[in-house]
Amino acid sequence: MVNNKKIIIGNWKMNLNVQESSLYLHQLSKIVKTHRDVEVVLSPTTLTLQSLSLQVNLRQFKLAAQNFYWRDQGSYTGEVSATQLRGIVQYGLVGHSERRHIFGESDKDIRSKVEAAVRNHIRPVLCIGETAWERSNGETYDILHDQLIGGFANITSEELSRVVVAYEPVWAVGTGQNALPTYVSAAVSAIRNQIEHLYGKKASESIQVIYGGSVTPDSAADYLALPGVDGLLIGGASLNAHSFNEIIKKAHRGSAVVE
Ligand code: PGA
């Protein structure tokens, strides 16, 4: 059970080739201090997942797929399934704003991917968040509500304990425009309220909700200090092992070093 841990995920997006990814993992594993209260997850491109899975020490880091197809197998040229990723990754990002907005993923696609991940023993990280336009129209909470319902439509309360929600305002992702901690705090409370409405109080308290959007080593602690924020999803600042390590350091609260 990882529910009392902070989760720090590095989303490398379409950056770092096979050699660079391997070098990064080597560098980070040398400088990172592994703590029991922090789960560090690396999300490289699909191409490098297999080789990194052989290199990684799972006591130090877990791996996440950035994307996968929801069917288990078949004639789907160019796709990789959660079934194929099973045993290689422990987490899978689902519904990242770049998938929703650049690749046109629908709530139905996203819901099917959440289910596929759970079915294949991969923890889905459901990414939700409003665009700048939706925010300025006062629709933030409606969007969060719709994306939560859309993503979790077929997830039972038992399965919910295995999922993570990442709140990522679209206007803050990759823009350098990070959301104010008070704004994040209100959105995360709204997410927990909606989970309570759907699954009950216990589920709303135990589900892990993380924040992402232009987080840097300087801003990380402010978000991690917010009640109800269980970790961070880091894009740009995760591409350098040293800056990512600075963020990881902010996440542990003095627990014993594992090794
Ligand atoms: P960013 O990306 O930290 O570069 O804003 C976050 C994400 O895409 O998850």
CATH, residue 187: 3.20.20.70
Measuring from atom 6 of ligand 1, which residue has the nearest CA?
Answer: 235
Q: What pLDDT, on the 0 to 100 scale, is given for residue 257? A: 55
- Picking from 214, 208, 170, the residue whose alpha carbon sits closest to that of residue 192 is 208
Q: What pLDDT, on the 0 to 100 scale, is given for residue 2? A: 41
List, for the chain, all residue ranges whose pLDDT scores fall below the cut of 70.
1-3, 254-259
User: Residue by residue, what is the 3-state secondary structure of the chain?
Assistant: CCCCCEEEEEECCCCCCHHHHHHHHHHHHHHCCCECCEEEEEECCHHHHHHHHHHCCCCCEEEEECCCECCCCCCCCCCCEHHHHECCECEEEECCHHHHHCCCCCHHHHHHHHHHHHHCCCEEEEEECCCHHHHHCCCHHHHHHHHHHHHHCCCCHHHHCCCEEEECCHHHCCCCCCCCHHHHHHHHHHHHHHHHHHHCHHHHHHCEEEEECCCCCCCHHHHHCCCCCCEEEECHHHCCHHHHHHHHHHHCCCCCECC
Please tell me the distance between residue 222's alpha carbon and the centre of ligand 1 in angstroms. 16
Q: Using a 6 Å cutoff on CB, does residue 66 contact ligand 1? A: no
Measuring from atom 8 of ligand 1, which residue has the nearest CA?
Answer: 235
Q: What pLDDT, on the 0 to 100 scale, is given for residue 34? A: 84
Reply yes or no on whether 259 is catalytic.
no
Please tell me the distance between residue 256's alpha carbon and the centre of ligand 1 in angstroms. 29
Does 165 reside within a domain?
yes
Does 37 reside within a domain?
yes
Does 1 reside within a domain?
no
Token code pair at residue 2 = 């990882």
Q: Among the options 35, 96, 145, 252, which is catalytic?
A: 96
Q: From the alpha carbon of 9, which atom of ligand 1 is closest?
A: 9
Please tell me the distance between residue 12's alpha carbon and the centre of ligand 1 in angstroms. 9
- Picking from 208, 218, 231, 244, the residue whose alpha carbon sits closest to that of residue 38 is 231
Token code pair at residue 118 = 């759970």
Reply yes or no on whether 96 is catalytic.
yes
Overall domain count for the chain? 1
Please tell me the distance between residue 44's alpha carbon and the centre of ligand 1 in angstroms. 13
Q: Which residue range is the domain that position 121 belongs to?
A: 6-258
